[in-house]
Amino acid sequence: MSTLTPGTAADPSRVRTKGEFGAALRALSQDKGLSLAEIEKRTRSWTGPRLALKRATLSDAFNGRTLLGEQALLSLLALYEEPEKVRQLWLAAHRRIKAGERGAAQRAAGTDRFDTASPRELGIHSAIVVPDATDELPAYVEREFDFRLRAALTGVVERGSFVILVGGSSTGKTRSLYEAIHDVAPNWYLVQPAETEELLELKHDPPGRTIFWLDELQRYLGGHPPLSAECVRALTRKPNIVVGTLWPDHYDARIMGGQSDPAGADDIRRLLRSAIVISVAEDFTTAERERAYEKAEEDARIRIALETRDAGLTQVLAGGPALVLHWEQARPYAKAMINAAADAHRLGVQSPLSEDLLVEAMAGYLSGHRRVKPPGQWLSDAVPYATQPLHGDVSALSASDGGRPGTFAGYTVADYLAQHLRRHRRAERIPDEAWQAFVTRTNRPADLRRIADSATARLRYVYTEQALERLAGGFGDGAAAVELARLLARQDRFERAIEVLRRRLATAPGDGDAADCLAGVEALRRRVAQLRPAAAAGDPAACRLLVEILDDGGRRDALRARADAGEAIAAEELVEELAKHGCLRELRERADGGHAYAAEALADLHVAWGDVDELRARAHQGDEAAERRLSKAHEASARAGGAASELAVLRATAGADPEAAWQLCGLLFELRDVEGLHTELDAGTYGAADRLMALHTASETMPMEQLAKLRAFGLTADGAPITPPDDLRKDPTWPAS
């Protein structure tokens, strides 16, 4: 058992950043002689205050991408048998880094009472209108979950309450919350944050007796940074109520977890699990319908909804089915406008859409002869139909003031229609005109960030670049500058990447992430320059290494050097990266060289593809991993015979269930279905791009030069490979053929 002293490689007293913290942990692990796999194995059975530690979580922490949670850190130190004095040094470093990540500013809490907010301001759908209706809202029909909801909200005496209602669009989630809070805390203050940052700033000194209203909670979970469990805990340490609504597919995707987890998914999962979750069904129960019939005697709107058999009562009240029919029967200009608005919503745009934006976007949804008319005529044809009230006040597109009364900020698409079109059009390609309009006309940073993420998931890097350029240059977003520089470096555009980072550091000299990225980009440029002469001379190994370094920023190159020097953790991480990228050639070489973990990863890939003959051949050569997996390969091969029905089931549910979409990508990868993966790519399914690139790499059916350009520059809106800029196309060493 070792004691850390100042000056050692694993000295926590000197670290100030996540990267330094991860490096110190990695040094300590090497000192203990424990690989990631061994740590995971030894902690697998731990329960209670000691946490089981996953290899992927540790890998991210050791490489500075994330910061271990405090309990996970204590569990790791317990495994290392570090003394209490040393554990306190690590905890102090951990808390120091967390404190440094906090913003200094705080936003003032809300000063309006909850009972002064109108239902529309709180996100409650407009209802169908009938001649004898006098109230803004239909009579409220008591739901089965109302007692539990009120009990959850009234449990705030010394501590607060965090409640989420999960249900589909127009199922009555927001209305039920509205009625419940009006009963239990109508005179409390109200905070409706426009962005997650407002909540993160309030967490350090939260007000009391306040309602934090997070309708459409996915907007805050998908923010940069996302809403955290720590933030909600801080808000509810005082008698505050945090409430939110969430669609089931958003909830399931984040609570279930899986291979498709993005960074930060563990904290979001903890956040959701800390909430009191109340499910809101699509349809009314028998008892609820009986109560609805009683209310129908006094409210004709409920009577009309009860008489409609092809949709739920709350959906009819919100005009959902009428909206879908209205969209289906729309004339070309109106349908183009509605589709553009729905696609903006699909890409993550939450702010109102201006008429200028919609006109520019509409062009991509119109055939040639309809594009000839002046855009003013497009609007005169489309706007009246798209905004036409159905049953009184429900419309496909609604005018919005954008939070500034007396002004017109643009249009928002009806929630129910957006959800329907998200499923119906999930794999429809978004035209270039729409991408350009969303990127150039959207002025809310959070929307631009979501557009960038959506473009990246679809390999549309040209739009990623434009969105990040606006965030970095126009809004001073340091994280966007770093991300943009890394994208440019991957494309061998080092001068431009360095210019972006220097511009950022000129305005924010203390940005450590930008400074670190600049140093990394300059080092990468030097490494690429070393390889160019051999690549230009046609050396295949140099060509492959040059392409690889540009692709991943030198990560595999650095891991390979550490692995070849005998570092066990680096060797495991290298194998994971090789498998992730479909690098069969090097996996095979390392497996043949006696690396057991590489042999297992190689065998797993052959199992996924049902390569029984390949596994059998390797087993005959003494490969124990291949021999152990032979039976699984037979099962995978048999599964492929019934894949058609499994594909049909997954495709039927992928639009509403992100986990099903991820499983669909996995099955398409196993079936080597390139066309199917391209469909999921167009749908923006997380992981589809990685699966597609790995499949191309493993199968070697695409020339290395073509694949390298696809990885670096991506696709056009129409799905064709991007042509690199002229200066790179003239360079015979990028990438060397």
Q: Are residues 668 and 556 in the same domain?
A: yes
**148 and 56: one domain?**
no
Orientation angle between helical segments 18-32 and 55-62, nearest 10 degrees: 120
**Shared-domain flag, residues 122 and 92:** no
Collapsing DSSP states into helix, strand and coil, what is residue 245? Answer: strand
CA distance 341 to 325: 17
Q: Are residues 346 and 271 in the same domain?
A: no
My answer on whether 152 and 238 are in the same domain is yes
- The position carrying tokens 């289906």 is 328
Low-confidence ranges of the chain (pLDDT < 70): 1-10, 47-49, 65, 98-111, 128-134, 156-158, 257-264, 308-311, 391-393, 633-642, 655-658, 725-737
**Structural domain span for residue 187:** 112-286
Calpha distance 426→454 (Å, rounded): 13
CB 344 within 8 A of CB 352: no
Domain count, the chain: 4
470 within some domain: no
Question: How buried is 63 (Cβ within 10 angstroms: 0-12 exposed, 13-18 middle, 19+ buried)?
Answer: middle
Tokens standing for residue 51 = 């946490």
Which among 403, 431, 459 is the end of a domain? 431
Task: Give the neighbor-by-neighbor strand order of the sheet with 276-279.
Answer: 112-113, 189-191, 210-214, 241-246, 161-166, 276-279
Where does a domain end: 79, 101, 123?
101
- Do 561 and 710 sit in the same domain of this protein? yes
Residue 189: inside a domain, yes or no? yes
Q: Note whether 88 and 120 are same-domain residues.
A: no
Separation between Cα atoms, residue 576 and residue 601, nearest integer Å:
8
Closest CA relative to residue 249, chosen from 455, 419, 446, 430: 419
Tokens of 201: 């700033």
676 contact partners, CB below 8 Å, separation of at least 6 = 647, 664, 668
67 is a domain residue: yes
Quote the CA–CA distance of 330 and 339 in Å, as a whole number. Answer: 11
Give the end of a domain, one of 431, 464, 495.
431
* 485 located within any domain: no
Q: Is 285 helix (H, G, I), strand (E, B) or coil?
A: coil
Amino acid 675: pLDDT: 92
SS3 content of the chain, % helix, strand, coil (to 5): 60, 5, 35
Are 639 and 545 in the same domain?
A: yes
215 and 348 assigned to the same domain? no
In a domain, 296, yes or no: no
Sign of CA dihedral 117, 121, 122, 124: positive
- Asked if residue 56 belongs to a domain, the reply is yes
What is the CATH number for 53? 1.10.260.40
In a domain, 181, yes or no: yes
Nearest Cα neighbor of 191 from 175, 176, 203, 179 is 203
133 and 280 housed in the same domain: yes
141 and 245 fall within a common domain = yes
pLDDT given at position 3? 36
The verdict on 92 and 126 lying in the same domain is: no
The answer to whether residue 53 is domain-embedded is: yes
What's the CATH number where 396 sits?
1.10.10
The maximal CA–CA distance of the chain, rounded, in angstroms, is 86
Taking the C-alpha atoms of residue 210 and residue 421, their distance in angstroms, rounded to an integer, is 36
